[in-house]
Amino acid sequence: MKKIAVAMSGGVDSSVAALLLKRAGYDVVGITMRLFSCSRIRCGSCCSEQDRLDARRVCTHLGIPHKTVDLSEAFKSRVIEPFVDSYLRGETPSPCILCNEYLKFAALIDESCKLGVDAVATGHYARITTDSDGRSHLLRGLDHDKDQSYFLFPAVGGALGHLAFPVGDLTKTEVRALASESELPVHEKAESQEICFVPDNDYAAFIECERPDALRGSGAIVDTSGKELGRHRGIHAYTIGQRRGLGIGFGERKYVVKIDAERNEVVLGDDADLARGEMTVRDVVWACETELPMQAGVQIRSTRKAKPARIEDADFGTVRVVFDEAQRAIASGQAAVFYDGDEVVGGGWIAND
Which CATH number does the domain housing residue 337 bear? 2.40.30.10
Q: What is the mean pLDDT of residues 140-164?
A: 94
Same domain assignment for residues 35 and 184: yes
| pLDDT (tens digit per residue) in 270-311 | 999 999 999 999 999 999 888 999 999 999 999 999 999 999
Same domain assignment for residues 10 and 103: yes
Active site residues: 99, 196
Same domain assignment for residues 93 and 234: no
pLDDT confidence of residue 36: 75
Same domain assignment for residues 92 and 227: no
Which CATH number does the domain housing residue 182 bear? 3.40.50.620
Which CATH number does the domain housing residue 256 bear? 2.30.30.280
Does the residue 206 lie in any domain? no
Give residues with Cβ within 8 angstroms of 29, minimum separation 6: 3, 4, 5, 6, 64, 65, 66, 67, 115, 117
Q: How confident is the model at residue 47 (pLDDT cuts 50, 70, 90)?
A: low
Same domain assignment for residues 159 and 86: yes
pLDDT of 39 strictly over 50? no
Give residues with Cβ within 8 angstroms of 301, minimum separation 6: 331, 334
Does the residue 284 lie in any domain? yes
Nearest-5° Cα angle at 325, 242 to 331: 30
Same domain assignment for residues 251 and 302: no
Same domain assignment for residues 181 and 224: no
The last residue of a domain, from among 269, 289, 307 = 269
pTM of the model: 0.93
Same domain assignment for residues 158 and 15: yes
Does the residue 205 lie in any domain? no
By residue range, what is the domain housing residue 125?
Answer: 3-200
- Number of structural domains the chain divides into: 3
**What DSSP assignment string belongs to 181-218?**
HTT-TTTTPPPP-S-TTSGGG-HHHHHHHH-GGG----
